[in-house]
Structure 1
Amino acid sequence: MSFGHYQPVRLVTNDELSAALGTSDAWITERVGVRTRHLAAPGESVADMATAAAGDALRRAGRTASDVDLVIVATCTTFDRMPGVAAQVAERLGIAEPGVFDLNAACSGFSYALAAADHAIRAGASQRAIVVGVDKMSDFLDWTDRSTCVIFGDGAGAALVEAADGIDRIGGIGPVVWGSNPAKGQSITLGSPGPHSLPATFRQEGAAVYRWATTALAPIARKACAQAGIDPGDLGGIVTHQANTRIIAALARDIGARDAVVATDVAESGNTSAASIPLALSKLLERREIPAGAPVLLFGFGAGLTYAGQVITCP
């Protein structure tokens, strides 16, 4: 398994947003822990970012387009309905006749997509898959609402997943633990423009989502560790959805990790939705902060309310 990522060139600081929103760097940092975020250019699409991240993962693995037979893209912010983003990525990279599909599990999307690729490979339906998490949240934000627009950024992360002999081999993927709480699904919404839909803006019940994330999710994350045969205290890394620093810190504490490297890319990238887990992990691997062979918990959660987690062996 190999990871890659992409972030847009434009870097937006808290000071830049504060000038327009009547707030301050201190207020934003204290509230969500975000200092900077990357925002896509107006003409830069979800497919553009996904292709760049997928290409980066391929290069880092030393593979070419001809080695890939499946492309899965997790996103909730594409305006295109047909062709899907996965098909666009395959075409742009020159991947001939792969299986392609998109899925939408919001901020849990990458963990869902990684599990789907793992299942396809274990079933013999694929030998080598590209899995991408990508979102362009900036298209759906109300840039006058300081309670939401300061949280998010744009970007993409990707993994190249290959057939392997179980989780003990470097690059292994453990069993997924996934589910949802649909009764609270309206706590986070994102609508597309149109006569019969919500406005094209993001909305969330922040306090309710925070309570759910900090009270209900740690036992599920521990279950993912148990399914992989890993004691949480032995984790080498924890990469949760990069929602905000307070949720990340609470989850890492309650999961019971001792010496794990905990990803906090939200501080420099903001909440990048489905991109946040592979983006954060790719950066950690690039900096060699987690040793090869160490168990790493990936744990996504978000709108739906969905969650999904699995332990991988660090490549």
Structure 2
Amino acid sequence: MSARIASISGAEHTAMLGLGVYRPERIVTNDEVAGPIDSSDEWIRTRSGIRTRRFASDAETIISMSAAAARDAIEAADIDPSRIDCVLVATSTWLLLTPAAAPQIATELGLNNVAAFDISAGCAGFCHAVAMGSDLVKAGTARNVLVIGVEKLTDTFNPRDRGTAFLFADGAGAVVIGPSEEAGIGPTVWGSDGTQHRAIRQDKDWMEFFREIDEKGLDAVRPYLAMEGTAVFRWAAHSLEKVCREAIDRAGLTPADLDAMVPHQANGRIIEIMARVLKLPEDCALANDIEETGNTSAASVPLAMEAMMRKGDAKPGGTALLIAFGAGLSYAAQVVHLPNWK
């Protein structure tokens, strides 16, 4: 007879206890990025809703931006850092295949001997990590989980690519997920569509690049982020309403119960379409951080949450729908109570 293995259980409910963000110091206008792509401020604003974005300096790294956002999240959560047992980092722009960024970030924060690993789900990574962090606390695997979404997309796109150079930017956001007396993170609705994998992608793998170096020498072109913008727009505009409605329904709510909606800041037009088809109430705040921050991929949802609360459009404790989508194509949505922030 097999020996009986003990099991554990954790908190009945979880919530995002604290939020922190990091925005790079340098503000970049449309006029600055328009030249190399033969564009204009008006074309960029009309196409994306973006007016400015933040570009990180060489000193503002994945590690440093993550640590800065995480410190503020831990302070806002008002917990002892020693009670954090796991660090999840959602990113697509950590340029090493191994080791992951998360263990170095944990060490930078003084979180020694905790579980730490990266998640690669494109722009949907933060919402994926929130789901995983919540489940880890509910299972008893971790007491509290630090979730970070961070990107330095300026390392990955071609500044002369008309399809990406005006859109992407840098930044980091973090939340602490822990036990709660009532449900603060609803059931997650997530999935993927691999038939659309080419819509957002790295345009060549590194072995292909090395072969080009052998053949072309200095004429070889490094891998860059590539996007088929029209395909992504059509997919998001027509496929995500069902995901949003299912997340709201699984939380036992209706759109009328929402105080805010925080979609991934992919494109201003997509945000407007999603809000319109969901028929959100007039008093439901709609995050529109893309105007000042650009598309920061896995960092965009926490950055947009912070911007809403900083401007007074939403408050901690408010009920919000988070929805994100990106490379894969992947998507994830959940209804949450907004956290304290710093």
User: 2:149 is matched with which residue: 133, 144, 158?
Assistant: 133
Q: Is the 8 A contact 1:71 1:86 kept in 2?
A: yes
Task: Find out whether 1:177 has 2:189 as its counterpart.
Answer: yes
Gap regions ≥5 residues in structure 2: 1-16, 210-220
Alpha-carbon separation, structure 2, partners of 1:97 and 1:285: 34
Structure 1 residue runs of 4 or more that deviate by more than 4 Å after TM superposition = none
Q: How far does the alpha carbon of each residue in 1:277-300 deviate from its partner, in whole angstroms, 9 at most, with x for none?
A: 011102222334213332100001
Alpha-carbon separation, structure 1, partners of 2:279 and 2:142: 35
* Percent identity of equivalent pairs: 40
TM-score w.r.t. the length of structure 2 is 0.87
User: 1:300 is matched with which residue: 324, 330, 333?
Assistant: 324
What is the aligned partner in structure 1 of residue 11 from structure 2? none
What is the aligned partner in structure 1 of residue 103 from structure 2? 87
User: 1:97 is matched with which residue: 113, 119, 136?
Assistant: 113
Q: Find the residue that maps to 1:163 and give its secondary structure.
A: strand
Q: Find the residue that maps to 2:197 and give its secondary structure.
A: helix
Q: How far off is 1:73 after superposition? A: 0.3
What is the aligned partner in structure 2 of residue 238 from structure 1? 261
Alpha-carbon separation, structure 2, partners of 1:165 and 1:215: 37
Alpha-carbon separation, structure 1, partners of 2:102 and 2:141: 17
Alpha-carbon separation, structure 2, partners of 1:82 and 1:304: 21
Alpha-carbon separation, structure 2, partners of 1:95 and 1:288: 33
Q: Is the 8 A contact 2:89 2:119 kept in 1?
A: yes
Q: Is the 8 A contact 2:126 2:301 kept in 1?
A: yes
Alpha-carbon separation, structure 1, partners of 2:263 and 2:298: 11
User: 2:198 is matched with which residue: 169, 179, 186?
Assistant: 186
Q: Is the 8 A contact 1:219 1:255 kept in 2?
A: no
Alpha-carbon separation, structure 2, partners of 1:128 and 1:47: 20
Q: How far off is 1:193 after superposition? A: 6.6
Letter in 1 for 2:197: G
Alpha-carbon separation, structure 1, partners of 2:180 and 2:186: 11
Letter in 2 for 1:301: F
Pair 1:57–1:191, CA change in 2 (3 A): farther
Q: How far does the alpha carbon of each residue in 1:11-61 deviate from its partner, in whole angstroms, 9 at most, with x for none?
A: 100122224433211111001111101001134321221111111111222
Alpha-carbon separation, structure 1, partners of 2:277 and 2:115: 39
Task: Find out whether 1:200 has 2:223 as its counterpart.
Answer: yes
Structure index of larger Rg = 2
Does 285-294 or 10-19 show the bigger shift? 285-294
TM-score w.r.t. the length of structure 1 is 0.94
Task: Find out whether 1:61 has 2:77 as its counterpart.
Answer: yes
User: 1:209 is matched with which residue: 202, 210, 232?
Assistant: 232
Pair 1:32–1:253, CA change in 2 (3 A): same
Q: How far off is 1:130 after superposition? A: 0.6
Q: Find the residue that maps to 1:238 and give its secondary structure.
A: strand
Q: How far off is 1:192 after superposition? A: 7.2
What is the aligned partner in structure 2 of residue 30 from structure 1? 46
Q: How far does the alpha carbon of each residue in 1:267-314 deviate from its partner, in whole angstroms, 9 at most, with x for none?
A: 100000000001110222233421333210000101101100000012
Q: Is the 8 A contact 2:56 2:154 kept in 1?
A: yes
Alpha-carbon separation, structure 2, partners of 1:185 and 1:19: 30
Alpha-carbon separation, structure 1, partners of 2:136 and 2:46: 42
Task: Find out whether 1:165 has 2:181 as its counterpart.
Answer: yes
What is the aligned partner in structure 1 of residue 247 from structure 2? 224
Alpha-carbon separation, structure 1, partners of 2:275 and 2:302: 18
Alpha-carbon separation, structure 2, partners of 1:52 and 1:81: 23
Query: How many equivalent residue pairs?
Result: 311
Q: Is the 8 A contact 2:21 2:173 kept in 1?
A: yes
Q: Find the residue that maps to 2:27 and give its secondary structure.
A: strand
Alpha-carbon separation, structure 2, partners of 1:163 and 1:103: 22
User: 1:118 is matched with which residue: 134, 141, 144?
Assistant: 134
Q: Is the 8 A contact 1:120 1:126 kept in 2?
A: yes
Letter in 1 for 2:311: R
Letter in 2 for 1:185: H
Q: Is the 8 A contact 1:232 1:257 kept in 2?
A: yes
Task: Find out whether 1:271 has 2:312 as its counterpart.
Answer: no
Q: How far off is 1:227 after superposition? A: 0.5
Does 109-118 or 140-149 show the bigger shift? 140-149
Q: Find the residue that maps to 2:142 and give its secondary structure.
A: coil
Q: Find the residue that maps to 2:116 and give its secondary structure.
A: strand
Q: Is the 8 A contact 2:87 2:115 kept in 1?
A: yes
Letter in 1 for 2:87: V
Gap regions ≥5 residues in structure 1: none
